[in-house]
Homo-oligomer: A and B are copies of this chain.
Amino acid sequence: MSYRLAELAEKVGGEVRGDPDRQVDGIRGLETAGPRDLSFFTHRRYRKAAISSKAGALLVSPQVVDMEHDLLVVPDPYYTLAELLDLIYPQPSKPAGVHATAVIGEGAVVDPSASVGPCAVIGERSRLAAEVEIRAHVVVGRDCEIGRETVLFPGVVIYDDVEIGERCRVHSGVVVGSDGFGYAQHEGVHVKLKHVGRVVVEDDVEIGANSAIDRALLDETRIGAGSKVDNLVQIGHNVSLGCGCLLVSQSGISGSTRLGDGVIVAGQSGLSGHLVLGDGVQVAAKSAVFKSVEAGKKVAGIPATEASSWLRQQALVRRIVELRRRIATLERSAETRRQEIES
């Protein structure tokens, strides 16, 4: 889609500095944008790249208006970028209907406005709501519910008895509802605990490629509304996430751990089982959390501790060679003094 800069400003509630008739056909990065592209400049670190950018126009905040480009000035450029991407790159309309190669189980209900792609398999009694998109090679088990406008990308597997909310996006390779890792030790053997619980994914959740969400042993594993899960994330059985949580790539949440609302777990971090993390807790990248964390705290480290303490500790660990030297110096002068006294 193509717009004049002034049109875009009107749609997103911004202000133009420069040529209001500047034509915008696309959005590109600073280095690759051309005269018919809009680019964006939100961080000092990219100032040089912004100045030399060949972009026709720049999306900026009111703090950064001393540029020679035509500008679209908005209070929150990053959020406006989200709006502009939807505007300039509209979703291609997806034809509704069930592909000839799809396999629909007995008693399954597919809304006429939903689409089911090639070779997709929908289990018995499962229900796909309006405008659901089931892409190629998706497998949905029995007795599942998929909420309206939700998209399951190619190759997603949903086990039996799983409920996915509205407007969710579940990326390729995601597995929802596989058995949790639960065994009883008995006479030297790991005896499997049959997992009879389920998974509930609430509305507006996005799940990244190749992540895995285990079903509960009993009851349910639950992903709160508006939470976003990155790629290759592990969510164990009976875990519960509040609303608006962010789990970054390769993080893992062990069984029965409960996260409040707005919890952020950064990349490659792990939480052990049966913990409670209060609302707004932030876990730094590559941490291992072995204890529950109160609401609002930031933690870091292995084992995780308050983030500010961890930073101080790590700064000193990097100077531990110096600490040892200072101890050795003290020991030498103590020794010298002892010899002086004795002599």
Contacts and interface: CB of A to CB of B under 8 A. Distances in A.
Contacts of A48: none
Contacts of A28: 218-219
Contacts of A29: 218-219, 238
Interface residues of A, number: 107
B181 A228 contact: yes
A268 interface: yes
B137 A118 contact: no
Tell me the number of copies of this protein.
3
Given A154-B121, A178-B171, A313-B317, A250 B270 contact: yes
Given A139-B137, A178-B209, A208-B178, A303 B314 contact: yes
Interface of A: 27-29, 31-32, 45, 76, 78-79, 81-82, 85-86, 89, 99, 101, 103, 117-119, 121, 135-137, 139, 141, 153-155, 157, 159, 169, 171-173, 175, 178-179, 181, 183-186, 188-194, 196, 206, 208-212, 214, 218-219, 226, 228, 230-232, 234, 236, 238, 244, 246, 248-250, 252, 254, 262, 267-268, 270, 272, 274, 285-286, 288, 290, 302-303, 305, 309, 312-314, 316-318, 320-321, 323-324, 326-327, 330-331, 333-334, 337-338
